[in-house]
Amino acid sequence: MPECLFCKIIAGEIPSYKVYEDADTLAFLDINPNNYGHTLVIPKDHFENIYTTPDETLCKTMIVVRKLATAIRNGMEADGINVTINNEPAAGQVVDHLHIHIIPRHEGDWETKSQHLKYKDDQAIETIEKIKAALQ
Ligand code: 5GP
Ligand code: ZN
């Protein structure tokens, strides 16, 4: 889908901090993370949301989500993990390409669950290195 932001990220037309990639799936840091390490996991094929994504694609994506959830928990020294999918604007979906949010949580930070942070300097690179190290 030429005008889809996440298809452009898959094609390399828009840069991203990649956490994981295989033939079917890509994971990269959210540009405005709720917490550092907030990652988006997407199928490389374009499907709009959970209603329209084929079972096989969804299953492959979710297997990656689970692996990454563990790596993000360990790599970011988190105490918990949110795994969420927003479907349709009323539920907060802004980008119309299925994506699963993985958000690390730390004890006591629940009040800040709506915050949007920014990465400074090399912080994004350091973050993906921590997660990748925990994936091995
Ligand atoms: P939604 O609200 O659709 O579930 O989530 C879309 C997410 O995409 C948001 O959390 C937003 O911060 C993230 N996002 C929007 N534009 C970009 C971008 O250009 N690069 C990256 N890495 N994330 C983006
Ligand atoms: Zn797309």
Categorize the per-residue pLDDT at 1 as very low, low, confident or very high, splitting at 50, 70 and 90.
Answer: confident
Contacts of residue 86, defined as CB under 8 A and 6 or more positions apart, other chains included, come to: 92, 93, 94, 101
What is the CA(19)–ligand 2 centre distance, in A? 18
- CA Rg, the chain, in Å? 14
Residue 3 has a pLDDT of 94
Using CA atoms of 15, 16, 19, 21 in order, give the dihedral in degrees to the nearest 10.
-50
pTM assigned to the model:
0.97
What is the CA(123)–ligand 2 centre distance, in A? 27
The answer to whether 55 touches 110, Cβ cutoff 8 Å, is no
State the CATH number of the domain containing residue 123: 3.30.428.10
Residue 104 has a pLDDT of 97
Q: In what order do the strands lie in the sheet with 100-105?
A: 18-21, 25-29, 39-43, 100-105, 80-84
**Which residue, among 107, 106, 63, 101, has the nearest Cα to 85 in the 3D structure?**
101
Structural domains in the chain (count) = 1
Residue ranges making up the domain that contains 80: 5-135
Please identify every residue annotated as catalytic. Answer: 99
